[in-house]
Amino acid sequence: MDVASSRTSVSARVWSPPQRGFYKLNIDGSWISLGDAGAGGIIRCNKGKWHIGFSMQIKTLEPASAELLAIMEGLNTAWERGTGFLELETDAQALTYMIQNPLYYNHHLLSNIIRDVSELLQKDWQVTVLRVKRIANKIAHGLADIGRNSQQDDLVLL
C-alpha cells in the first residue's frame, strides 16, 4: 500500500456501513490490569453483514497496547482473507496518529507494535483509518471483553 492510499479521519458518529466495495473492521481492546486484557474485532461488508469476528485473551501492560494488538490482529485477519479495501475504525484517537506517524514514536514503549501495525498498513491494499465514538464500537468492545474473560490463550475466530 502506498502512503497516499492510507488516510486518517476523525468521525464522531454511530456505526455505519463502509463505502461500496470496502469492508469495515471495528476493533477494541479491553484492559483491566496486567494479565487481564483482551482484544476483539469484527469485519463486515458494505451491507453490514458479518464477515468474520475475533476474540482473544492477551497479556499486556497497558490499555494502549491492548488496542494496538487488537488493530494488529484485525489487520492480519483482513489481510489473510484477501481484503483489498478496508475501513478500520477505532475509538482510540491517539493511536490513529501513532500508527500513521510511526517515526515519531521510535523510542516509545510501544514502538515495536506501532511499527508492526504501520508495516501492515503499508501492504498492497487500501486502508482508511477512522476514529469513532465508543458507541460505534459496541460489538468490538463486547468481543474484546469476551476475550479478556476467556480461559483460553488462543485466538477465536467467529
Sequence ranges of the domains in the chain? 3-157
Query: DSSP per residue over 104-134, as a string?
Result: GGTTSTTHHHHHHHHHHHTSSSEEEEEE--G
Quote the CA–CA distance of 55 and 49 in Å, as a whole number: 18
Please name the helix (run of DSSP H) or strand (run of DSSP E) that holds residue 143, with its range, or none: helix 138-149
pLDDT at 10: 47
Residue among 47, 26, 2, 48 nearest 132 (CA): 26
Q: Looking at residues 59-66, what average pLDDT do you find?
A: 90
pLDDT at 34: 81
pLDDT digits (tens, 9 = 90+) for 137-148: 888 888 888 888
Q: Mapping DSSP to helix (H, G, I), strand (E, B) and coil, where does residue 24 land? A: strand
As a CATH number, domain 3-157 is 3.30.420.10
pLDDT at 13: 56
- Local confidence band at 134 (pLDDT 50, 70, 90 cut-offs): confident
pLDDT at 12: 44
Q: Determine the distance from the C-alpha atom of residue 64 to the mean position of all C-alpha atoms in its chain, rounded to a whole number.
A: 12
Quote the CA–CA distance of 39 and 117 in Å, as a whole number: 15
- In this structure, which amino acid lies at residue 93? Q
Could you tell me the pTM of the whole model?
A: 0.85
- Local confidence band at 155 (pLDDT 50, 70, 90 cut-offs): low
- In this structure, which amino acid lies at residue 35? G
Please name the helix (run of DSSP H) or strand (run of DSSP E) that holds residue 35, with its range, or none: none
